[in-house]
Structure 1
């Protein structure tokens, strides 16, 4: 995931947290896919609406959204925007 996001966005900052342990026993966790939080700051996001930013992240992750990721919390921002 990290490599895909770095390749797509050349971020100034990126943090990925695996929250899967917090969802043990959850129906979506039974198939082995994980729950993650992503905080990413990139100039690519400047001028983009929040929904467009999320769509760009989903697109960058491609097949991982169906093979490895069950849930993804995204905080995508342009450099200088409040974290």
Structure 2
């Protein structure tokens, strides 16, 4: 995921956390240890865009990953000044 995000958002500060252990045994946990993630992405290119537009850009960059291999992705997308 980090590679896809870095390619789509050049110069972004990306922090991707694997939260899967906190969801062991819950819906969507496939036992792989890679089902639930949190993302903090800070990028100049988000300026002038609302929260939904930013999340759509992130989801577009990740393609089919969310919903297939990744069950849940919490996205926090900000500009450097936020």
Is the structural similarity TM-score above 0.5? yes
Provide the TM-score with structure 2 as the length reference. Answer: 0.89
User: How far has the Cα of 1:31 moved from its partner?
Assistant: 6.8
Output the CA distance in 1 between the equivalents of 2:54 and 2:22.
26
> Does structure 1 conserve the Cα–Cα contact (< 8 Å) formed by 2:4 and 2:62?
yes
- Listed as ranges, the gaps of 5+ residues in structure 2 are none
Whose helix proportion is higher, 1 or 2? 1
> Does structure 2 conserve the Cα–Cα contact (< 8 Å) formed by 1:19 and 1:36?
yes
Output the CA distance in 2 between the equivalents of 1:24 and 1:31.
7
Output the CA distance in 1 between the equivalents of 2:78 and 2:27.
31
- Listed as ranges, the gaps of 5+ residues in structure 1 are none
* Aligned residue pairs, count: 81
Q: Which runs of 4+ in 1 moved over 4 A?
A: none
